[in-house]
Amino acid sequence: MEVKIMRFFLGGVPFGCDNIGDEAILAGVVRILRRNFKNTEITVSTGEPDKTASLLGVKGVPLYGFKPEHPLSNLSNSLKNHDTFVWAGATGLSDYPALATQIVSIAQRQGLKTVVWGVGMDSTFNPALFKLAGKKLFICKLLKKVSANTIDAPTRVEEYFIRNIQKRIAKVLSKCNLLVCRDPESRKSLLDCSSALHVTVGADSAIVFDQPNLASISHLSGEILDALSGSYEKIGVCISSQRSIQNTDSLIEALDSIVSSPSRRMFFIPMNPKTDYELMGKLRGQMKNQKKCFLLAGCEEPEQVLTLASLCSVVISSRLHLLILSANVKTPIIGISRGSKIDNFLGQFGFKSAGDVYNCNFNHIQSETDRLISNPLPYREKRDQVYRHLHERLSFAESLLVKKLTLS
């Protein structure tokens, strides 16, 4: 008996835009689809169609909607001959909800089944889109002043924007065949849009990767490889260039203090190989102990980052997916909050973030680094419990995915 080909179109995320975390999600979704559906054809909308096609064995098409040279008006043609559109992860429900829901809506109008898979939602919407600034803020403040402070125009306008996007999210997602978010907190935020939505809590698709591959980092210099393989206490670090840490002088001082011991080495792991790399190069250049610190270039694939994380004694990051990839291989983690998504992930381990990018607790980073290096066993035991639960949630979500797409 011939097995039906399932044709998936993966989009709704700015894949192929120098974000290794997004690429880890994408690779995870592709693996999940292939292990659940024996005969698949997968198309990915990405900023790097050829590279993505080569790496994952998929068909790559342009990144519609996220780049002006590829407008959404061209998406419909690429959606032809597909069965299912998958909004494939990341935090778009709060980061860029208007665009992502528009993409899902186009797929729905074209008759495709639609799935929201492993998408996250911060407790607040993207301030760049939903907080007033510039001329609009000035006018609203003027209205507030004219009303003798009886009308809080800035707050009312921002609340109006949020109510509108919540209605939009609810309308589009109510027509989806399956809604799976990555954590309970995202589910709660999503239900704030509409309590009528049927939302399943799964997990981030990147948790499926747990096998380091030393061959993937063999291109690094001999000096770096010697440091990575040596009997040092190795600290991995990623400081995101997005909403970067404000007090850089204190950050540099803290990093210098952490790596001051002769037994320690520090490895800067950019999760954006361009902007994070540039930022951390500047930080390293201002450190007293910069000779004991290594800025890693040419490690742009999730497998390479996973391997680097597996060699570290502890990882400090304000990028969620470096924390996830590190936890995948049981490396202890310390997070710096950049929105609620990092707090949500750390909370499962009983951890709190080291403050946020605006008010970072550098003493916490130093004390947690010392604690986790000196005694990692309690973390690893808790990590195993957390990951058993995450994989149970993911497995249940996968069973629903198969049911919804094969029985309906």
Contacts of residues 383-390 at CB distance under 8 Å and 24 or more positions apart, as own/partner, are 383/327, 383/330, 383/349, 384/330, 386/327, 386/348, 386/349, 387/207, 387/327, 387/328, 389/348, 390/203, 390/207, 390/348
114 phi-psi bin (left φ>0, alpha ψ -120 to 50, beta other): beta
pLDDT in tens, 20-69: 999 999 999 999 999 999 999 999 999 999 999 999 999 999 999 998 99
pLDDT at 311: 99
Q: Which two tokens stand for residue 139?
A: 């006018």
Q: Is the dihedral of CA 274, 278, 284, 290 positive or negative?
A: positive
Q: Do domains 6-207+389-406 and 214-375 have the same CATH topology?
A: yes
What are the pLDDT digits (tens) for 345-368?
A: 999 999 999 998 889 999 999 999
User: Pick from 106, 103, 110, 64: which is nearest to 83 by CA?
Assistant: 110
Exposure string (b/e) for 165-185, b if CB count within 10 Å is 16 or more?
bbebbbebbeebbbbbbbbeb
11 alpha-carbon distance from chain centroid? 15
H helices within 184-314, ranges in order? 184-193, 222-229, 248-258, 275-285, 302-310
Q: How far apart are CA 309 and CA 27, in angstroms?
A: 18
Beta strands in 339-389 (DSSP E): none
Phi and psi of 250, rounded to 5°?
-70, -35
**Reduced 3-state DSSP string for 173-196:** HCCCCEEEECCHHHHHHHHHHCCC
Domain 6-207+389-406, CATH class in plain words = alpha beta
CATH number, domain 214-375, options 3.40.50.2000, 3.40.1500.10, 3.40.30.10, 3.20.10.10: 3.40.50.2000
Q: Where are the beta strands (DSSP E) in 96-245?
A: 113-119, 178-181, 200-201, 233-238
3-state SS, residue 29: helix
Cα 175 from Cα 111, distance rounded (Å) = 11
pLDDT < 70 positions in the chain: 1-3, 408
C-alpha pair distances (Å), 160 with each of 157, 163, 191: 5, 5, 18
Q: What is the pTM of this model?
A: 0.95
Which pLDDT score is estimated for 294? 99
Q: What is the pLDDT of residue 146?
A: 86
Amino acid identity, position 86 = V
How far apart (Å, rounded) are the C-alpha atoms in residues 95 and 339? 10
Domain range summary for the chain, segments of one domain joined by +: 6-207+389-406, 214-375
